[in-house]
Amino acid sequence: MALQQQKIERQPIGDDLYSENQQLRRQLKAFLSQARSNEQKMRRFQEQELQLIRLNSLVQLVNTIIYDYRTAFELDIVTLTLIDPSYELQHIMEDEGVILADHPALAFASTEDELDTFYGVTAGPQLGAYQPDQHAFLFPGVRTKPASVALMPLIRYDELIGSLNLGCMKSERFVAGSATDFLQRLSAVVAICLENAANHERLKRVGLTDFLTGINNRRFFDQRLGEEIMRAQRKETLLGCLLLDIDDFKRVNDTYGHRAGDQVLKEISFLTKQQLRGTDVFARFGGEEFSVLLIDSNGAVTLEIAERIRNAIAEQTVTLDDGQALQVTVSIGVSIYTGGEKVSGSFESAEMLVDQADQALYKAKNSGKNRVICFGKEQGLKIKSLAAEPERT
């Protein structure tokens, strides 16, 4: 009887041990499942990390971040905000043929003030529910707002260069107070890769930039000319070409010295660039000559821009180091590619477009200078009554 009672008394202890064992098994299973999930996430991250590191192109890098990351990390929204005060990154991407308006997930800030204020002194990842009044500027063009977000500052050498913004329709995906080690590593890798890609693009452009004026050089112009001719042929659009030559530039060098000539070249570059759109191509063609490609520009618009350039330069004086005010003018030759003169290929069309502008420029120089002349296909060279007559002494 005593043994039976003792056995009955011990039975609950066995049940407790069994229940505890089952609970431990479930916990172990959950831990193993989480470990496998974390391992898969880490493997995906490493694959993406290696892919980013291999990319030198800024365009490819940005595409990978804002498009591929959505699939790789099972996200609903990924946006990228880059600080670009001098519009350098935007110009780099536009030079690669990117139409920025087609990519609302990519945004640029002219100053770091707004991002600095948002992230504050700690500048660490921020997780939590989406707050429209606080987060809307980081998710431009997003129709369906996320339920939870992870916002990561991109920092290089203690300077904020942008923000990587992740959004999910599940409110439990990004919760305030969660561990951010993984996200901090991700933002660090993205920041390094963005900086490396930007530096790579800058190095590429060293050989395509005129050292004195800071604008594109002849090599860059020739490269873009071929690309734009092919684009105009493919899309049946127009392309305007300008050749600018500084009038009596040799006299400037002979009279005031080459340093004064350099100042004139830089001033002409600055004034011309002010009259152009971001999509246009502007280059130093050689010596005192400059070239311009006006993308999707018909004859009337091309002539208007050419006259605007001529007038802006004629009305501006160049102040030399010794205080002298120097008046300079330019002659401009214009040609228009309409897509009709598809000779044997884009190379021949490109040569012909520049040759026509050169012939118009020659006519402008020999017709009194300080004027715009357009090459006409049927009627030959036409003097446009757009420029003021030069003063006669």
**With b meaning 16 or more CB within 10 Å and e meaning fewer, what string describes 282-291?**
bbbbeebbbb
How far apart are the C-alpha atoms of 46 and 24, rounded to whole Å?
A: 32
What's the token pair of residue 88? 């350098």
Q: Are the beta carbons of 147 and 168 closer than 8 angstroms?
A: yes
| DSSP bridge pairs for 382 | 374
Length of the chain: 393
CA distance 10 to 13: 5
Determine which helix (DSSP H) or strand (DSSP E) holds 165, and give its type and residue range: strand 159-168
Angle formed at CA 240 by CA 234 and CA 244, multiple of 5 degrees: 145
20 is catalytic: no
Say how far apart CA 254 and CA 266 lie, in whole Å: 18
How far apart are alpha carbons 52 and 81 in whole angstroms?
Answer: 17
Instruction: For residue 283, list its beta bridge partners.
Output: 216, 291
Do residues 269 and 258 lie in contact, with contact meaning Cβ atoms separated by under 8 Å? Answer: no
How far is CA 267 from each of CA 148, 210, 216, 309, 318, rounded to the nearest angstrom? 51, 14, 15, 12, 7
Query: CA-CA distance, 313 to 247, in Å (whole number)?
Result: 11
Rounded Cα distance between 215 and 207, Å, is 11
Looking only at the bridges linking them, the beta strands covering 380-383 and 372-376 are antiparallel
> Taking the CB of residue 316, how many other CB atoms lie within 10 A of it?
14
Could you please report the per-residue DSSP string of 37-77? HHHHHHHHHHHHHHHHHH---HHHHHHIIIIIHHHHTT-SE
**DSSP string over 185-221:** HHHHHHHHHHHHHHHHHHHHHHTTB-TTT-SB-HHHH
Marked catalytic residue, from 267, 288, 289, 307: 288
Q: Which residues are catalytic?
A: 288
